[in-house]
Structure 1
């Protein structure tokens, strides 16, 4: 009875529906629904798609004051359930209960007249965001599924990708001739899944005599039989389902023996019983770093090559044994790596060893000609450059036409002549493919001239900023390798350059990538037990010990090499200050940082390489040999097809402009001009990104969508249902098809219109749902769900009977 003593009021169970119609957008995770016919005519045909109904509602209850009252109710729905019991909006003194069998209720431990107000019980389903309420008189109990509110759990249970790769390989390495297997497993929220493979983000891979691709709904595999060097590169697999796509790239290295060295050995420093051989490393190292070289010799006559006693690690070697005066020899070189020894280089020219009496080991190769002037043998042309100690002009030999470069020294004083003699003597000791070579020297009362080989390629950094020139981390590593090879030879002669900077690294020709080191005007010979201290150099590249006027050594050049590498990769100078004094302060403190933006695309190994060179303590810096063995140098080898991103050139352009205009006192104007140019969308320095895929690759990726297309097909049809008047009907089915089909509902031949009691929904997993609340006899009939896309259409139907 109610508190006024009147007859108890009867409340019927109701269902409040709040469905929102939506179309598939390719981002929501599909929800799963169970499909089964209704066992109880008072239950919905598809239980999991509706709210948790009360199979046994609350009953009227009367108890005496002071006793404990228990009000039970039975609920069905997704487990587990959490029960909310409200008594006049207050739950503090109620004991609520629920169990896995769906029994829920509330217990009032101490009954009182005030307890006979309002008690409420309800159940909520997370699948459809609906609630069911039942109440006897003014008493209601609410039971709620623990996953009732998707909004609450959105932050706790983030949705995963529709398709994602599961622990695929990142790098695979095989030897030449072996079989390659690239297996990339993935998981997908929907099927089917279509896959394709792209080589170096450029070429779509198709089946061939050496290649096969096998894909299903969980794995895509690429198999290459008898791998060859050309197979080295990046392989990107794209997996696409009807919702989304994912990609993964595998780097494949096909390891082989190195190619032959690119040049035949060149002989220098010839004496009666020894000589120095120099050569250029192989164009392709076989996919693994070259570990060293084997020098072979053959004496004229017998056709048998023998290996010299010791293997060498560099691209130059002094043969000190096994050679006899007047003997005639040819030499060749083989490179080797972890995969084996490569084929030999071309043979050297035949070398005839001189007699002992005609050779002195200390005699320079180039003697200074004091009888003639340079103009007796050469024509002098345009000026090529100006340095601290003189000017450089282009020369051409009058008889042979050979183009050379002539360095004209300022030799007004004895000190200036002494410095010129010193450089010529040092150049006579430096015979290496990575170093500019001295060809002749002239001394006259009015001038001194050193004739050098003409290097036509221009400064390396100027070449890099050209729009048609590739600039990546691997190409930068190859330039650094050449610089290190050249300086390794210099340091072995106990010579320090002391002026390494971008202007002194030049390209051999206008199109290739071979470089040479030039300008040994500040170079010095190191003598044991005699410390060398200097006060010259370029502020941005000079080492801390030079500024502090402390002894220098070969480690001083290694600091400059570190600065060059920093600029080469980022386009920024690590120690550049607003003036020379500020720059010197930064150098002395060895204070620099890797700007995140400038080094965004640079590997950690590269930064470790730079850091190992820019050490304030010169004895802690890497030597040339150690630098050549650094993992960064090993990971980016010549012509290695490892996929990398092109580096931006805007900052490099600004760096060059600043150095160029600084000499004319117009650095600020230059920077402003470069800034304006780089901000123009049509300028070469603009930051517009190049397409990441070639046209062929994009077409292959677009074809995946076509492979997934299919006409609609009902995987789970509608089921007949019989429900009482006033109940709620849930007519559900599941349809496949791509592109996503349009769904239309019909009652007989008439379209079903949405209203306050009729709603429809189409889920990502293909579930189509029609909900009719407060059923009336006129709702009886045959309901049809029709799905159609551009490939076709399909339909299914079911009969709904509403009992009065």
Structure 2
């Protein structure tokens, strides 16, 4: 055979195993048809195999080779008892697990592999089962083995070996004549162990509360813990819903001291709460870590809208980004471009630290100049792309003077000499509240129709509260606020006379068949509420009970409204935090429930709830009970139902969202809210097609609230305080919500993973002691559920007595204490442990010397 022939033969012998015969034959025939000779075909096969081998090698390098985190341990058992070997293995799946006994393959019926634990179970061992057992774990990245030895001895012949020695030096020695002291020492040791057992089964060591990473970075959630016993089984639950499982981007690792989830490239969808549940045979513990995956925000959702235009200034308003990047928007950058003959596209920063969605441009603009504006949002991760540009804005040529109509208001002095009936006729009752009752009254001379608020003022405290309301009303002179006209304070009664507002509650007015309910009309109502509350807040007064019942129409035909009932209003004082415990569950702000300082922003939350109901007919935080409502409020948990908000603009939803912020410092104030794009877009100058809103849900809302009038809805201090006490407060109720079915199953499986038949980690050993001494036989048992232990002497059951004490501790240590030894105590002692999965036993001889 020539050299070329030999080379060809070598090629064939080297690579023929890499190609399936039939596939190789087809390939050769096909390539022959294409004019290729046999050597060329083989050369092509060589390249194919080489490429495949390289790809497999690259893939193998990226995998984790198997590793025994907990190797097998030697085991000694009595003839006829069971044995079990276990090893904890890590490495990339799939793992191939095999066992050998003295080099021979072990039947698969005796082995299993679950959750990283490889086990081999042997029943009723005989001397034939003794020898070396080897477990091998293998994957495409490599393999590793671990070996251990099994000793099987006759029940009378278990050797004494230091390897399994649990006896203290003191118990091995011949007891002294001070036998009582020795027994006392053993009891003290037992009490100390019992105290130790009372500690938590699993205790987390300084676990993280929150982890924040940027998009694309590695997210590592790591919890270290102490366990009262091993083994420990762990699982991670995402948002109390889904079990966190291994995947291409997710790695889950657990051991007896720690557990972790590693997401190699975090995405916004990974944001949420991750709860690690760790369970050992003594109990369960859990800890939740909040993961925030942040990115730079989306651009502001709308182009800037211009209002309050003058010669050199204007107000810009816009809508925040539809996605904030997973972390709070820190501010906005306002940019301007001057429009010239050649349409310049140069953009200049007007400000880079605007904190709200509106900005008053006071400088840098010229009279009759033409400009375009755009906005960028920024957070801790970066700055967004710019918003859409505004239309071309031309500055005014001359300043417009604002003219305000002066109002005539009365500053009331409380009349202490007359009764209300001296000047007014009292008619029908209009309403009842916690404060007292309201009647329609008419002035005897002028016939003016008014409302008389008759206070329940039997105590000094009640009278003081009534006087405070009258004093506050003297500071609230505004067209959008109800006015106080007179006040009377006599021994028998206190009365405040107010404007009589005939139009009724706003929401009842809206559901009238003759009234058109649209988004623009709702915006105008909200604008009036904001204008009235803006004046209240300028006086440093908070209303603290804004709700639909306290927004009334001036008359039945028009659309003008007034704000009423300042009975809970308080004046803020600088340097004196104000905390209150009253309000209406559906409308009260989180800081009230949490008994934290309130402020002007507290009213803004209530305005947001009113606007939500006005547009949808649904209450955002209404639960099945007050406690459930408080929980939703403190969590700021609400959503825009698709059906209810189908015809509502995104600007309106953004307006509501800017008010319903959990942290009161993040809420818009009245001045800022009036500049919101939703408010600006519905000015009388702007006309757009509108659609009538459905009134059915509003009618249903009003029907549900019929029984929840002011007197019943205003909360008593004790009632709300009981619901807001920590740690069972509504604010923490999110932690009390149930697991999903999937999560519950995963947690239940932890218990199943821990289950194991009894096994003696350390066996009894023979001892010889003099008469009158104290003997202590010890052994260490593993198994779950916790094995029940029985002691036998010479095959007869033992029971506790004055001289005999039996102890079993949570960590598996079992002991038999025999005090004041007698010759009859000599014999063979057997400890038998059993649970639902099996049984094991070990024995030792006790010899009592005379």
So what's the TM-score if we normalise by structure 2?
0.45
More helix by share: 2
So what's the TM-score if we normalise by structure 1?
0.47
